[in-house]
């Protein structure tokens, strides 16, 4: 009897733990220098560094920034022709050993920035995903850039602790144990009432 109860209590835990994790992450990513329009080089580098920091948190292996900067000078990532930018990003990815390259640009007007990012697959030699977002400096640029980076890589947003599977599994096990254990462990007449906590 107690084995069946334990099996029933542990079954939801096993089923939720075996769920899928979503799409696979790129094996190695290079973050190319961003094109700038009315934005200082320091601000563009800060945006690039925030993207790189979020990739390390995910974690996705990064190509060395020095190698990307050095190899990125060999082609024109700031070209207005999208096909040339994709070809350049593909070539850059092959030279630094990356499976994907993040290219894009940033434009600004005062405290508002428009960030355009594209994820270029080196093997496919094509843009696999592109995003364009408006970022307000006052409202937390870093948080917005982290969100943009996660969406670019198709990583689902982080769930708050109270919406995670393990919290509700523990609550379910505790409630089930509080109801079932007094019934299963009583030793007197089966027709007497039992106080449930």
Q: Which two tokens stand for residue 116?
A: 């355009």
Q: Mention the CATH class of domain 29-152.
A: alpha beta
With cut-offs at 50, 70 and 90, classify the pLDDT of residue 16.
Answer: very low
Higher-pLDDT residue of 154 and 197 is 154
What is the number of residues in the chain? 197
With cut-offs at 50, 70 and 90, classify the pLDDT of residue 190.
Answer: low
Would the pLDDT of 172 be above 90? yes
With cut-offs at 50, 70 and 90, classify the pLDDT of residue 120.
Answer: very high
With cut-offs at 50, 70 and 90, classify the pLDDT of residue 189.
Answer: low
Question: Which alpha helices (H) appear in 80-164, and where do they start and end?
Answer: 82-96, 141-152
Longest CA pairwise span in the chain (Å): 87
Sort residue 166 into left (φ over 0), alpha (ψ -120 to 50) or beta.
Answer: alpha
pLDDT in tens, 141-170: 888 888 898 899 888 777 888 888 899 999
With cut-offs at 50, 70 and 90, classify the pLDDT of residue 102.
Answer: very high
Q: What is the pLDDT of residue 24?
A: 66
CATH 3.40.50.10610 maps onto the chain at 29-152
pLDDT in tens, 20-55: 444 567 788 889 888 889 888 888 888 899 998 888
Question: Which alpha helices (H) appear in 32-140, and where do they start and end?
Answer: 41-57, 65-72, 82-96
pLDDT in tens, 57-97: 877 777 777 778 777 777 777 777 888 888 988 898 898 88
């Amino acid at each position: 009897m107690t084995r069946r109860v334990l099996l029933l209590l542990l079954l939801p835990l096993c089923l939720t733990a075996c769920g899928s994790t979503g799409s696979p992450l790129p094996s190695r990513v290079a973050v190319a220098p961003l094109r700038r329009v009315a934005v200082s080089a320091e601000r563009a580098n800060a945006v690039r560094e925030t993207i790189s920091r979020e990739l390390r948190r995910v974690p996705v292996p990064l190509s060395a920034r020095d190698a990307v900067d050095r190899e990125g000078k060999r082609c024109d990532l700031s070209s207005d022709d999208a096909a040339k930018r994709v070809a350049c990003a593909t070539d850059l990815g092959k030279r630094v050993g990356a499976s994907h390259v993040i290219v894009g640009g940033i434009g600004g007007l005062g405290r508002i920035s428009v960030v355009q990012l594209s994820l270029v697959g080196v093997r496919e030699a094509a843009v696999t995903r592109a995003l364009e977002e408006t970022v307000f400096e006052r409202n937390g640029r870093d948080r917005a850039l982290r969100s943009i980076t996660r969406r670019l890589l198709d990583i689902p947003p982080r769930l708050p602790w109270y919406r995670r599977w393990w919290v509700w599994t523990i609550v379910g096990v505790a409630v089930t144990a509080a109801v079932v254990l007094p019934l299963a462990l009583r030793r007197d007449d089966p027709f007497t009432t039992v106080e449930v906590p």
